[in-house]
Amino acid sequence: MNMAVWSPAAGFAGHSLAEQTRAPLMDRIDTKFMVPVAELGQCLRGLEPEYSMLEIHGTRSFPYDTLYLDTPDNRLYLDHHNGKLNRFKLRIRHYRQTGESFLEVKKKCNRQRTLKSRLSLPAGRPDLRAIKRFLSGQFGLPAAGMQPALFVRYDRMTLLRRDGLERVTVDTRLVFESPDCQRAVPLPGLAILEIKYDRKGSDSPLMARLAGLGYRPVTFSKYCVGRVLLNGEHLKSNRFKPLLRSVHGICS
């Protein structure tokens, strides 16, 4: 498909950030798919009656900057690798379009639901006491000992189903960087589609489309994939090798 002729953002009605905020889905089920960027048109075309797309000041694709934190012994990474049922990710996310930054905790619970909590970070000097209180309230997640582990950049488009019960993020132009920004691994040919909904059995039009095209759900963690791509020789990574082979197959 000629992506220069048809953009994935074309044809969708726009919705505002305020409209999207009314469907936060902070307690949800996530289903992810890996798709070649060149196939996004085939995946999304024809779904315009079902979804609208986030638009801010005429823009529909937004750059995200995310810094993941972990303990010196990589506890959060290893909990994910080892399949721990109750596990966390800790990150600082900066939204360039609005200038906002948040400290975010994502918990995957043993019911396979994702719970997300976040604390707004004001510009300038951070309120360390507020951060400590926030983290200590997140299921006992320790505030001490956390350090930068991975920097991730990507562009995101967001679709919202008309009934507000489903949100879809489309992430492209992924770049993984070491915290010191001395090493980077870009994945320009890969798109990550994540369908977020409030309950199982959702009759998602996009999920039906992807299944019809032969795409199957994957367990894809930007944090874990980025850590392996940058530091795989120093990390336990057997669990992620089949996924990484698929990533390399799409991007090669």
Position 144 pLDDT exceeds 70: no
* Rounded mean pLDDT, 101-130: 80
Supply the CATH classification number for the domain 13-251: 3.20.100.30
Least confident among 160-164, 187-191, 222-226: 160-164
- pLDDT value for 127: 74
Q: In the chain, what percentage of residues exceed pLDDT 70?
A: 90
Least confident among 97-111, 163-177, 229-243: 97-111
Rounded CA-CA distance 6/2 in Å is 7
* Residues 185-205 pLDDT 10s: 999 999 999 998 876 546 899
- pLDDT value for 110: 62
Position 122 pLDDT exceeds 90: no
Q: In the chain, what percentage of residues exceed pLDDT 90?
A: 54
149 against 22, higher pLDDT = 149
Domain range annotation of the chain:
13-251
Position 33 pLDDT exceeds 50: yes
Position 35 pLDDT exceeds 80: yes
Least confident among 58-62, 84-88, 101-105, 236-240: 84-88
* Rounded mean pLDDT, 55-70: 92
- pLDDT value for 2: 40
* Rounded mean pLDDT, 8-24: 83
pLDDT band of residue 81 (cuts 50, 70, 90) is very high
Position 24 pLDDT exceeds 80: no
Overall pTM surpassing 0.75 (yes/no) = yes
